[in-house]
Chains A and B, each alone.
Chain A
Amino acid sequence: MKFKFLIKNGLVLCLLLANSFTHAQESESVILKAMKDELKRSMSDIRYEGHDRPFFISYGITDIKTFSAYAAFGAMIQSGEVGSRNKSVRVLVGDYEFNDESLDNNLFSDPAANEIQLPLDDDYFGIRRALWTTTDVVYKGAAQKYKKHQGTLKEQNKQLKDIPHRTFAKVPVFQSIKPATPYVLDKQKWESYCRDVSAVFKAYPEFESSDVMMNVSYGSQYFINSEGTVVVKPYQLSVIQCRAQIKTTKGEPVFENIIMYATTPEEFPPLNQMLARTKELAEKLMYLKTANSLDEEYSGPVLFLGSSVAHIFAGPLFSFRESLVSSNAIVNTAEFRPEAAASLDARIGKVIIDNNISIKARPLLRKFRDNTLVGSYEVDDEGVVPRDELVLVEKGVLKDLLNDRSLTKEGQTANGHSSGPAVIEISADKTIPLNALKATLIEAAKKQGMDFAIIVKGNASLSEGMAEVWKVNLETGEEVLLRSAQLTGVSLKNLRRIGGLATGQQACTVQTGDGSVCSFIVPEAVLLDDVDIRPLTLPYLENEEIYVQNPLKN
C-alpha cells in the first residue's frame, strides 16, 4: 500500500443506520461525482508557489458497514454495527520516471490540523471538503519533496539511471462501475449463531476462557485517478473466530482456535456443522490438558496436512525478508538496515525452491470447487487489472514478482497486485497419494535416524509459529497428538528440498505477513525434509489455588 495518505474514520460499534441500502445506487453516484469533481478541480487549479504542479492524483474511498458480535457461554457480550468511510489520496509531482516518491521510503503524510473526515451520508460538498483538505496537505508535502529530490540529484551530480530510484508505472486506463449489490445482513441470525456456538463451551467448565467473535464488513470501494481510471467494486469480508483456553494440571496454558474467512457469513458452515467443529475443538483441548508435549527439539522430516500446508507456504513466500511481493524500498544508506529491502528481486531467474513446484497468482479465480476464494479480486486498489494467471515460480525458478505501480528495479512491471497476492496456486509436477506420503515420511525419518516422525495438521495459529503436532510411531504408523509446539525459522530454505506433495488439492484462506487476506490453492499435504520444531514454553503460575468453585462446575 503506497498511498501517501490514509485516514480511517474510527470504527466504533454501533447500531445500524437506517435506510442504508435502498439508495445504494444513488449514494454511489454522489460519492463518485464528488470524487471526480474535486479531482478535476485539483488537477486544473492547484498551484503551490515555487513548486511544480501535480502530474497525477488519485482518490480512493471505502464505504462499508462493519458488524461485530462477541459471545461467550451462550450470551452476547457485545454486538453492533457501524458505518465508516475511509479515504486515500495520492498526489505525485514530477513525472512517471522521476517524482516525489522516487528517492524516499516514507510515502505517508501526517494529517494536518485542518483535516476533515468523510461524511457518513451522501453529502456532495462534505465529501469534496474531506478530499480537498487531504489533497492540500499531500500535494504540499509531495511538491516539497520533489524539489528536495531534484536538489539531491543535482548535488550528487549523477544521472537518474545511476542511483536507485522509484518510478511510477504507466498503466492502461480502466473503467468499471460495479457497486455492491444490496446486502441485508440478518444480524439476529448471526448473533444467535455466535451465541449457540459459544454455548458449546458451557459443557467444559475446565476451560479458563472461551469466546466466539464474528466480524462482517460489506460495502463498496471507489477509486479514480487523473488518468481517467474509474473503479467502483463491492467489498465483502467476513471472519469468525472461536477460541478456548485450558490449563494443564501443572498450570501451563493450552489454547486452540478455529478461524474462518468468507465473503458473507452465509458461506460459514451451517450451524450444526459449526457446533460439531467447536465441540471437536473443545474435546481436543480436553485431551491436551493431560497430553504429552514434545520432550526436546525435533529437527527432521515433517508432514504438513490440511490448512497447515497453506500456512507453511504463506510464511516463507510472503515474509518480510523474502516475499513474492516485490519490495518497493529504495536502498538508502542513510536508513537503518538498508539490506531489509533486498527481497527476492535479485533472484529472478534463479532457483528459489524445489524444482517440482510451480506457483501462480490467479487473482480472478473466485471459486475452487465449492469454496469461495475470499482473496480474489478483479482490479487492484490502484485501478490496475491483474492478469488471469501470472507465473511467479516455474519448476522452482523465480520468474516474476507481484507488483503495484511503484517500480524500483529494472524489468518490473505493474501487474495489478497493489491489493496483495489475492489467490495463489501452488502445484507440483510429481505428486503421490496422501497415504503414500505418510509412508515416505516414516521412511525419511528412519533414514535420518529419528526415533519418531512429526505430522503437523491444520492449525490457524501456525501463523504465530504454533503448530498442532502429532507424533508418528515409525514402526506402527500410529499418530499421537502432542501439546502445541513451535515451528522455528521456516524459510525458503525449507522449501528447497521437498520430500513429496500429495495428489489432491485444497483451498484455504490465510492472512499473510502484511495483513492482506490471501487464498491459497495448495496440495493436501506436503512433506518437508528438514524442519525444526521445539517445545512451546509459555509463562504460567504453578499450582494456583482455587478457593471458590468455577460456577460452570456447579
Chain B
Amino acid sequence: MPSPVFPILFQIERDKIVAPSAVILTGRIFIMLVGPSSRYYISLLLLGIASRVFGQDDSLAVILESELNREFAGLKKAPVPAYYIDYYVDDIEYATLNSSFGSLIQSSQNKNRVLATRVRVGDYQFDNTHPVSLHESAGIPPQGGMGPVMLPVENNRLAIQFGLWQATQSEYRQSAEAYKILRNSLARRDSVSPRVADFSKEPASVFADPAAKPLSSFFDRSTWEEKVKKYSAPFLKNPDLIEGDVSLQVTAERKYFLSTEGTKIVQNFTSAYINISGSIRAADGDIVPLNLSYYAPLPSGLPSDEKILKDVEDMVGMLSQLKTAPLADPYSGPAILLAQTAGVFFHEIFGHRIEGHRLKNEFDGQTFKGRLNEHVLPKTLNVFFDPTLREVGGKPVNGYYRYDDEGVKSQRVQVVENGILRSFLMSRTPLDKDSHSNGHGRASLGASPVSRQSNLVVETTKAVSMADLRKMLVKECRKQGKPYGYFFKEVVGGFTVTDRYNPNAFNIFPTVVYRIYTDGRPDELVRGVDMIGTPLAMFAEIQAAANDRDTFIGFCGAESGSVPVSATAPSLFVRRIETQKKPRQHQETTLLARPSSDR
C-alpha cells in the first residue's frame, strides 16, 4: 500500500463491515482509498453476476454476447492483443423509503442498467494487472476505463451496442497502456517470466435464471410507505430522542456476466433491508445511537409488524436507559462478546487476513502467508465461508450467490479446521502455480474483483453454556485483579487495517455494553465504548465459545467496493480486550418541546 493520502473530512479505512443501518444512522459516507490502484466509491446496492443457457427472449443477453464476440474478434488482433474480455451488467430496479418519527421523508423507485467491462491484454501468466511495487506503479492507468457505464433500460440493440463498444474501447486502451508500462518495467528489472500467473484458468460456466420478476410483483410501495411510517412512530413516545429513523431498501436485480472464455451467467437477486436508527441525547449532551436491521430476500420475508414494533419499543426503552448510563473509561481486561459482536470481531480480525489476494500484495501485512496447515486459532474452533448458504440457523443471510463476480461457481471453503489454517479465500488471482479460484472473487459494480468474504461461519467443538462463559469471565477478572469485565451485547460494525504501512489494528463499534462485576452487583450499562486491538495478539486471547449462535448481516467495504456479507459465530470469552472512548457528538437540548399530536 502506498503512503496513504488522507483527504480532510474523509475517513479512510482499509476495510470495514457495517450494518446497513450504520451508514444511514450516522449519515456518514465511507469513502475508501486502498492500494496502488486506489478507487473511491460510495457504496449502494449495486453489484453482481449470474447463470444456464440464455433464452431467446432475453434479448439483452443476446446483445451482450454478440457485441462481446465482435469486440474480442477485433481486439485480439490488435498490436497489443486482448486475451480476455468480460461484460458485467446489473439490471437493477430498486425502491428506497425513509421515515422519521412517523413521517415519510423519502419515497423513490427507479430502474437502471449499469455496465462494467474488463479487458485483459497479454496472457494469463503476465497481463495488465500484474502486481508491481509502489515506485513502479506510477503512470499505470487504473483498470476500469470509463468506470461503470449507464446502458439504456430498454433493449434497443444499437444503443446498447454503442455503449458496450465505447466502454470496451476505453477499457482496452487503458489495459494496453498499463501492459506496455508493466512489460517495460519487467524488462528493466531483467526478470524472467513470473512464476505465478496473474489470472488463473477456470472452466467456463453457463447458467441462467429464468426471467426476473419485476419489483412491483413483490413490492407494494404504498403499503410499505405506511409500514415504515408506523415503524418510526414509537420514537415519538420519548421526547428526549433526537433521531428516530426507519429506512427500507428493496431491490430486484438481474445480473449478467459474460466472458470471452465462454462463461455466460445470468443470476437474479432480490433483497429487502430495513434499518432502524434511534439516538438519544444523554444528560451530558452526548448523542447515543442504537441500530436495528433486518434482511430478507423478499419484503414478505421480513419480520411481522408486531415483531418490528416490539423491537422498536425495546430500542426506545434501551435508549432511555443509555441516557443516564455512565461513560466508560479505557479498559484492558476480560470480556464476553455476544454472538453478533463475535461475528463482526471474526470478520475483522480474521476474515480479512485470509483473503488470498492480499498475500500476493507486497503492500499488505500478509499475516498468514506461509502458515497453511499451522495452528492459527484455538483448536476448538472451525471457520468456513459458504456463499451457497441462503440461511444460517433459519436466518436469511445476504452473502449468498451461485457464481461470483468473476463467473466462478461459488463453493464452501473450510479455512480453519480445529484451529489449523487450511485454505484461503480465492479469486482468480492465484497465489502459486496450482491455485485456483474457490468462488470468492467479488466486487461492487465497476471495481475489479478480489477475494472477499461471503457468509462467514465460526463453530466450536467445545461449546459451553452462557452461564459458564460468564463464570469464566468473573474468574479471569479476579485473576487479573479487575473489578469487572465487559459484555459486548450489540454492535453496529467495525473496521480493520491489513497493510504494512499502518498499525495492523481493528476497531469494533459496540452499541450496547455492560460491565459484569465480580462482586455480584447487577450488570451495569455503560456508553461510549469502542473495542480495539491487534489481530495476532487477539487470536491467542480467545478462551472459550458458547453454545449459542447468531448472525450479523452487513456490507463489507474494501478495495473492490461494497459487498453484502454475513458473519455467524457463537458468543466468545476473550481473556483480554482493550477499549477506547468513542468520539463524542454534542447536542444541546431543544428550547421548545417537539410538536406532536399529544401536546
Which residues of B (218-273) have their CB < 8 Å from a CB of A?
Answer: 222, 242-243
Proximity string of chain A (132-145) to chain B, C-beta cutoff 8 Å, 1 when within and 0 when not: 11011001100000
Q: Are B103 and A548 in contact (CB under 8 A)?
A: no
Fill in one digit per residue for B53-96: 1 if any A CB lies within 8 Å of its CB, else 0.
00000000000000100110111011000000000000000011
Tell which of A13, A117, A202 has the most Cβ of chain B within 10 Å.
A117
A196 to chain B, nearest CB (A): 13
* Contact (Cβ within 8 A) B591 A46: yes
What does the 1/0 interface line of B86-123 toward A look like (CB < 8 Å)? Answer: 00000000011010111111111111100000000000
B101 in complex: contacting residue of A13, A48, A113, A126, CB < 8 Å = A126
The answer to whether B104 touches A120 (Cβ under 8 A) is yes
Any chain A CB within 8 A of the CB of B158?
yes
Contacts of A116 in B (CB 8 A): 100-101, 103, 105
Binary CB contact string for chain A from 60 to 76 against chain B (1 if under 8 A, 0 otherwise): 00000000001111111
Is A371 close to B, CB under 8 A?
no
Q: Which partner residue on chain B sits nearest A112 by CB separation?
A: B587
Q: How far does the Cβ of A138 sit from chain B's closest Cβ, in whole Å?
A: 11
Q: Report A6 CB to chain B, min CB distance, Å.
A: 16
Distance, CA A15 to CA B102, complexed state (A): 22
Q: Is the CB of B173 within 8 A of A132?
A: no
In the complex, what's the smallest C-beta–C-beta distance from B104 to chain A, in angstroms? 5
A552 interface residue (CB < 8 Å to B):
yes
Bound CA–CA A545/B78 (angstroms): 9
B161 touches A551 (CB 8 A): yes
- Decide if B595 touches A132 in the complex (CB within 8 Å): yes
Q: Cβ of B595 and Cβ of A125 under 8 Å apart?
A: yes
Instruction: Give residues of chain A (101-129) contacting chain B, Cβ–Cβ below 8 Å.
Output: 112-114, 116-121, 123, 125-126, 128-129
Kindly state the separation between the CA atoms of A45 and B592 in the bound complex, as whole angstroms: 7
B591 touches A47 (CB 8 A): yes
Contact status B105-A119, CB under 8 Å: yes
Q: Is B131 an interface residue (CB 8 A)?
A: no
Identify the interface centre among A77, A209, A552: most chain B CB within 10 Å of its CB: A77
Q: What per-residue 1/0 map shows which CB atoms of B150-193 lie under 8 Å from chain A?
A: 11111010111111011011001100000000000000000000
Instruction: Tell me if A14 and B591 are in contact (CB < 8 A).
Output: no
Find out whether the CB atom of B158 lies under 8 angstroms from the CB atom of A119.
no
Q: Is A42 an interface position by the 8 A CB rule?
A: yes
Contact yes or no, B151 A77, CB < 8 A: yes
For the complex, give the distance between the alpha carbons of A169 and B530 in Å: 52
Contact between chains at A140 and B587 (CB < 8 Å): no
CB contacts (< 8 Å) of B173 on chain A: these are 544
Q: How large is the interface on A (under 10, 10 to 19, 20 to 34, 35 or more residues)?
A: 35 or more
Are B592 and A14 neighbours in the complex by a CB distance under 8 Å? no
* Those of B141-155 within 8 Å (CB) of chain A: 150-154
Contact status A125-B104, CB under 8 Å? no
The answer to whether the Cβ of A334 comes within 8 Å of any Cβ in the partner chain is no
Given contacts A120-B106, A548-B74, contact A114 B242 (CB under 8 A): yes
Query: Can you name the residue of chain B whose Cβ is closest to the Cβ of A117?
Result: B105
Once A10-B106, A75-B152 are accepted as A-B contacts, the answer to whether A547 and B172 lie under 8 Å apart by CB is: yes
Chain A residues within an 8 Å CB radius of B596: 125, 129
Contacts of A130 in B (CB 8 A): 103
Q: Which residue of B lies closest to A131 (CB)?
A: B595
Query: Which A residues are CB-close (under 8 A) to B591?
Result: 46-48, 136, 139-140
State the CA gap A436–B105 with chains docked (Å). 60
Q: Is B374 located at the chain interface by the 8 A CB criterion? A: no
Q: Does B585 sit at the interface, judged by CB under 8 A?
A: yes
CB distance from A245 to the nearest CB of B (A): 12
Give the CA-CA distance A123 to B232 in the complex, in Å: 14
Which chain A residues border B102 with CB–CB below 8 Å? Answer: 123, 126
Q: Is the CB of B106 within 8 A of A75?
A: no
Taken together as a complex, chains A and B put the C-alpha atoms of A116 and B241 apart, in Å, by: 12
Stretch at the interface among A78-86, A357-365, A447-455, A460-468: A78-86
A72 in contact with B152 (CB, 8 Å): yes
The answer to whether A113 touches B162, judged by C-beta atoms less than 8 angstroms apart, is no
C-alpha gap A9/B103 in the complex (Å): 14
Contact size range, B: 35 or more
Q: How near does chain B come to A24, taking the closest CB pair, in angstroms? A: 18
Asked if residues A114 and B243 are in contact (CB atoms below 8 Å), the reply is yes
Give, as a whole number of angstroms, the nearest-CB distance from B516 to chain A: 31
8 Å CB contacts to A: which residues of B286-309? 287
Would A140 and B159 count as touching, CB distance under 8 A? no
Query: Of B109, B112, B279, which is within 8 A of A113 by CB?
Result: B279
Q: Which chain B positions have C-beta within 8 A of A139?
A: 591
Contact A548 B165 (CB under 8 A): yes
Q: Which of B101, B105, B160, B279 is packed against the most chain A CB atoms within 10 Å?
A: B105
Specify which of B74, B163, B243, B592 is in contact with A136 (CB 8 Å cutoff). B592
A41 within 8 A of B: yes
Question: Known contacts A75-B156, A140-B588, A547-B74; is A128 also within 8 Å of B169 by CB?
Answer: no
The listed residue (A113, A119, A133, A551) touching B585 by CB distance below 8 A is A113
Contact A82–B156 (Cβ < 8 Å):
no
**Given contacts A46-B591, A548-B75, are A80 and B154 in contact (CB under 8 A)?**
no
Contacts of A346 in B (CB 8 A): none
Q: In the docked arrangement, what's the CA distance between A457 and B228, Å?
A: 54
| Complex contacts, A135 vs chain B, CB 8 Å | 592
Q: Which residues of B contact A18 (CB under 8 A)?
A: 222
A127 CB, nearest partner CB in chain B, Å:
8
B594 part of interface (Cβ distance < 8 Å): yes
Say whether B590 faces chain A, with CB atoms less than 8 Å apart. Answer: yes
Interface residue A12 (Cβ < 8 Å from any Cβ of B): yes
Is A38 positioned at the interface, with any CB of B under 8 Å from its CB?
yes
B78 to chain A, nearest CB (A): 4
Given A9-B105, A125-B597, A113 contacting B152 (CB threshold 8 A): no
Whether the Cβ atoms of A113 and B242 lie closer than 8 Å is yes
Residues of A within 8 A of B106 (CB): 9-10, 12, 117, 120
Q: Contact: A128 with B165, CB < 8 Å?
A: no
Q: Considering the complex, give the chain B residue whose CB is closest to the CB of A38.
A: B595
A13 neighbours in B (Cβ, 8 Å): 108, 110
Q: Which chain A positions have C-beta within 8 A of B108?
A: 12-15, 80, 82
Q: Which of A43-63 contact B (CB under 8 A)?
A: 45-48
Contact A132 B592, CB 8 Å, known A14-B108, A74-B159: yes
Q: How far is the CB of B599 from chain A (nearest CB, A)?
A: 9
B-side contacts of A132, CB under 8 Å: 590, 592, 594-595
**Bound Cα distance A158, B127 (Å):** 74
Chain B residues 542-599 with CB under 8 Å of chain A are 585, 587-588, 590-592, 594-597
C-beta contact mask, A31-42 vs B, less than 8 Å → 1, else 0? Answer: 000000010011
Closest Cβ of chain B: how far from A57's Cβ, in Å?
12
B96 surroundings in chain A (CB, below 8 A)? 12
Q: Give the distance in Å from the alpha carbon of A163 to the alpha carbon of B136 in the complex.
A: 60
Tell me the bound Cα distance from A38 to B594 in angstroms.
11
Using known A-B contacts A546-B169, A547-B78, determine if residue A75 contacts B160 with beta carbons closer than 8 Å.
yes
Does the CB pair B162–A550 fall under 8 Å? yes
A79 to B150, CA, bound (A): 12
Q: With A and B bound together, what is the CA distance between A77 and B597 in angstroms?
A: 44
Does A17 interact with chain B (Cβ within 8 Å)?
A: yes
Contact with B along A200-213 (1 / 0, CB 8 A): 00100000010000
CB closest residue in chain A, given B100: A116
User: A9-B106, A116-B100, A548-B75 are known contacts. Are A76 and B152 too (CB-CB below 8 A)?
Assistant: yes
For residue B281, which residues in chain A have a CB less than 8 angstroms away from its CB?
Answer: 114
Q: Are B162 and A552 in contact (CB under 8 A)?
A: yes
| Distance in angstroms between the alpha carbons of A276 and B129 in the assembled complex | 48
Question: Which one of B70, B112, B587 contacts A78 once the chains associate, using CB atoms below 8 Å?
Answer: B112
Taken together as a complex, chains A and B put the C-alpha atoms of A42 and B105 apart, in Å, by 23
B105-A548 in contact (CB<8A): no
The 4 closest A-B pairs by CB, nearest first: A14-B108, A126-B103, A75-B156, A548-B74
Known contacts A46-B591, A139-B591; can you find 16 more A-B pairs with CB under 8 A? Answer: A12-B110, A17-B107, A41-B595, A113-B287, A114-B242, A116-B103, A117-B100, A120-B104, A121-B103, A123-B102, A129-B594, A135-B592, A544-B173, A548-B74, A548-B168, A551-B165
5 A/B residue pairs, CB under 8 Å, sorted by A: A12-B110, A42-B592, A72-B152, A77-B153, A132-B592
